[in-house]
Amino acid sequence: MAEHFNIIQEFIEKENRKAQGWLNEDYDHLGRQFRRRGIEIESLTALAQKFQVAVPSWGVGTGGTRFARFPGQGEPRDIYEKLEDCSTINQLVRSTSAVSLHIPWDKPEDPSCLKEFAGSRGLHFDAMNSNTFQDQTGQSLSYKFGSLTHPDRSVREQAIAHNVECIEIGRTLGSKAHTVWIGDGGNFPGQHHFRRALERYLESMGEIYEALPDDWRVFIEHKLYEPAFYSTVINDWGISYYCASQLGPKAQCLVDLGHHAPNVNIEMIVARLIQFGKLAGFHFNDSKYGDDDLDAGSIKPFQLFLIFNELVDAEVEGVADFSPAYMLDQSHNVTDPIESLMLSAVELTRSYVQAHLVDRNALREAQEKCDAIGALAALKQAYTTDVAPIIAMARGRANGAIDPLAAYRASGYRNHKAKERPASVGISAGIV
Ligand SMILES: [Mn+2]
């Protein structure tokens, strides 16, 4: 791969020199503002530098809708090229060193070799993801009518074996978690016997749970509809919580922001799962209508902030065993996926830093005094503070780009990749 184009560090440094003067000025000004409020800016910059979110391997390819996929130029054609792009994202934003793999789309011939390749580019592997929502070439039984909950035991066994294989591959790669999302459900009333389907799910997941190494977790991802349009087996956080509780301490609930009915209070679900010790982590994205898989923070940034407000509240309070896994899960249909993923990672860092700006004593006092406006004002003060200089400074200090979008565009990365990677059909980029 030696001939492949990479953005070199000197280029990032050269780009940063153009922006450093203005950044210093803005950062100093913000630092003075914070001092008046009794906040030390350096502590926030340190937090911004620490924040990490995993990138999904399938996110670096152009996604698609139910209608069509319009491929972009220079798309990665295999897992090694996907990791190249993931490494470029991390090089520029310095907050995405983990990659989440999807099996079988990313199934490596030699997992050790893949681990070494990733490691040499500063990457490691986050949660594994299984796929029993579509049929693969050469697969003996079909998932058309379900997988882990299929009425036919042999289909369920095939789906269980696939999940166990994902865990095995993940062990070699150094992963510590396995995410299970199933497309099982019904399109028509009467198609599924609700209770029997759930019983079969628990039985199948019990076998997958048994295959988990001691220091692993299994994440249950719920979704209210799609691909099944009348009912899904794991439809909401209540069912997810019930199943995680039944399975045991290694099972937790994963929240994908797009997998809820419109206007559902997701931050409250997050608080509940934290309280019950069952919050696995997130698939971050944004939506207007359904599981739109748009870029994080692009539609409802205040909701994103309120979610982080709950997360930071638990972090600051030191809630026991609180270690949620953060991942982006988006479908990039009209943007360069690298640009979308970089800016989405930045949006998450922004919400995280803003949530740390909340004056928690003032908020608590307002809550105890039943001062509704005072409580909202405490949140709004943090949310309306422009923390961009903090995030940019954190990136710059970590050898990333002060302005990742400008640096990426100036590098000509995509044009280089368009030449290196002539278009091929059938690349795997999906929506999960
Ligand atoms: Mn997801």
Q: How confident is the prediction along the chain (432 residues), in pLDDT tens digits per residue?
A: 447 999 999 999 999 999 999 999 999 999 999 999 999 999 999 999 999 999 999 999 999 988 999 999 999 999 999 999 999 999 999 999 999 999 999 999 999 999 999 999 999 999 999 999 999 999 999 999 999 999 999 999 999 999 999 999 999 999 999 999 999 999 999 999 999 999 999 999 999 999 999 999 999 999 999 999 999 999 999 999 999 999 999 999 999 999 999 999 999 999 999 999 999 999 999 999 999 999 999 999 999 999 999 999 999 999 999 999 999 999 999 999 999 999 999 999 999 999 999 999 999 999 999 999 999 999 999 999 999 999 999 999 999 999 999 999 999 999 999 999 998 655 555 555
Task: Detail the DSSP E strand segments found in 238-324.
Answer: 251-256, 279-284
DSSP-H helix ranges across 71-152: 79-93, 111-120
| Ligand 1 centroid, distance to 182 Cα (angstroms) | 11
DSSP H or E segment with residue 39: none
| Chain position carrying tokens 């970089």 | 342
Residue count (the chain):
432
DSSP H or E segment with residue 231: strand 231-232
| Ligand 1 centroid, distance to 37 Cα (angstroms) | 39
Q: What is the pLDDT of residue 1?
A: 47
Identify the CA nearest to 51 among candidates 93, 108, 111, 102.
93
Residue 390 burial (10 A CB sphere; 0-12, 13-18, 19+):
buried
| Ligand 1 centroid, distance to 398 Cα (angstroms) | 29
Q: What is the pTM of this model?
A: 0.96
Protein residues placing their CB within 5 Å of the ion ligand 1: 256, 283, 329, 432
| Ligand 1 centroid, distance to 258 Cα (angstroms) | 8
| Ligand 1 centroid, distance to 282 Cα (angstroms) | 8
Q: What is the pLDDT of residue 417?
A: 97
Phi, psi values for residue 100, rounded to 5°: -100, 125
| Ligand 1 centroid, distance to 218 Cα (angstroms) | 14
| Ligand 1 centroid, distance to 373 Cα (angstroms) | 35
| Ligand 1 centroid, distance to 283 Cα (angstroms) | 5
| DSSP 8-state secondary structure symbol assigned to residue 54 | B
The one-letter amino acid code at 407 reads A
| Ligand 1 centroid, distance to 241 Cα (angstroms) | 17
| Cα 302-303-304 angle, rounded to 5 deg | 90
| Ligand 1 centroid, distance to 9 Cα (angstroms) | 33
| Ligand 1 centroid, distance to 327 Cα (angstroms) | 9
> How far does CA 151 lie from the centroid of its chain?
32
| Ligand 1 centroid, distance to 303 Cα (angstroms) | 18
| Ligand 1 centroid, distance to 91 Cα (angstroms) | 25
| Ligand 1 centroid, distance to 46 Cα (angstroms) | 29
Q: What is the pLDDT of residue 66?
A: 87
| Ligand 1 centroid, distance to 300 Cα (angstroms) | 18
| Ligand 1 centroid, distance to 99 Cα (angstroms) | 14
